[in-house]
Amino acid sequence: MFTRIVLAVDDSDARRHAVSTVAELARRFGATVHVLHLAPSVVVEYSVVALEDDDAARRVLDESVRALREAGVEADGELVDGMRGQVPTVIADAAERLGAELIVLSPHHRGAVASWFRPRVSDAVGHASRVPVLLVPDAG
């Protein structure tokens, strides 16, 4: 059913539960996993400001790929720099480019008012993608 899965991770602790869930799915279906981490930036006045430094972004990606490989899953990773508002498009485009049959990510729960001003990435990925999206909440 699934041969190629895109796992989009961020720097939150919720990614660990998503990684373990994807490891189980990938083993069950014999799928390979492409881990994607976008190191986001925002525009502040006339400057682009990184929200995560390069070393921290690389650690998030490498930790996720390593955990999948240690679980016996064929996995690779990709680190992308981009604007925070581009995250959903980057994820959806990667899934299409890679021929993925499933996108997995961890939703961040915010109230309705906060979501009004900044839509949830998980909602936006679902609308931007032609690939099914699985949301894995934090295990805590």
In this predicted structure, what is the pLDDT of residue 133? Answer: 87
User: Which pTM does this prediction carry?
Assistant: 0.85
Please provide the size of the chain in residues: 140
Q: Is 94 left (phi over 0), alpha (psi -120 to 50) or beta?
A: alpha
Residue-level pLDDT at 31: 97
What pLDDT score does 119 carry? 57
pLDDT tens string 87-110: 888 889 999 999 999 999 987 654
Q: In the chain, which residues have pLDDT < 50?
A: 110-117
Residue 108: per-residue pLDDT = 60
Separation CA 63–CA 68 (nearest Å): 9
Residue 130 pLDDT:
83
pLDDT of residue 95: 92
